[in-house]
Amino acid sequence: MTKNIVEKIDDKVKINNILISVSDKSGLDTLIPSIVDINPKIRIFSTGGTYSAIKEILGERSKAILEQVSDYTGQPETQGGLVKTLDFKIYLGILTETYNESHQSDLKRTDSVAIDMVVVNLYPFKETISKPNITCENARGNIDIGGPTMIRASAKNFIRVASVVDPSDYPAILKDMKSGNGTLTLEKRFALSVKAFEHTALYDRTIADYLGNIAFDHVRACYSMEQV
């Protein structure tokens, strides 16, 4: 298989479509209205509790711009939120390249949109394992899958996509978007990418350290097992 080599990109990318799914919802009450003020035609895709929070923040304005990921993909969330964002349309939208004709054809074929910004932070694994009497199952259930995947995909495609993992970055992003007429520069997208990969690396390191330091007897005690 011949790998695709990107030779042309845009320095400034207009933020028209955003995917938001956050565990830490701090700052959303400022981020969301400000982004909509900057680009009133923006589309926001979201899931679960984040969708509900954004809908409450925007009120009536949410009807025109906010859409549940499950409605967009045509795939309802599975029980307990097990699978929400792991979908072809989502990752095509994140990974697609502006000047790749095949990618653009795929977007049209699947009725997908190019996602320009991903705002994601992860299940609080470190906070969970810091609680007293935590079980292996409690910890396992708080290992985020979709979140790191979205972060890594968007961070990889910094040539077009902004990957936002830290609410403390919201003010600077809004400032840049306002001064750039709704766009973010390659320099900003690249800096966000570096921070995003640092975020997922630390997250995975925390999980690996936790699992590597618990005794197997503790793991086995969490579950009743059928004997084959």
Predicted pLDDT at 120: 96
Written as six digits, the tokens of 218 are: 């503790």
What's the pLDDT tens digit per position in 162-185?
Answer: 999 999 999 999 999 999 999 999
Tokens 């007897």 found at: 217
Predicted pLDDT at 141: 85
Other residues' Cβ atoms within 10 Å of the Cβ of residue 60 = 6
Taking the model in full, what pTM does it have?
0.91
What's the pLDDT tens digit per position in 174-213?
Answer: 999 999 999 999 999 999 999 999 999 999 999 999 999 9
User: How big is the CA angle at 77 (ends 72 and 80), to the nearest 5 degrees?
Assistant: 155
Are the C-beta atoms of 177 and 188 separated by less than 8 Å?
A: no
Predicted pLDDT at 29: 97
Are the C-beta atoms of 160 and 9 separated by less than 8 Å?
A: yes
Predicted pLDDT at 226: 65
Strands 12-14 and 17-22: what pairing? unpaired
Predicted pLDDT at 96: 95
Tokens 């990974």 found at: 95
Where are the chain's structural domains? 12-122+146-197
CATH topology of domain 12-122+146-197: Rossmann fold (3.40.50)
Low-confidence ranges of the chain (pLDDT < 50): none
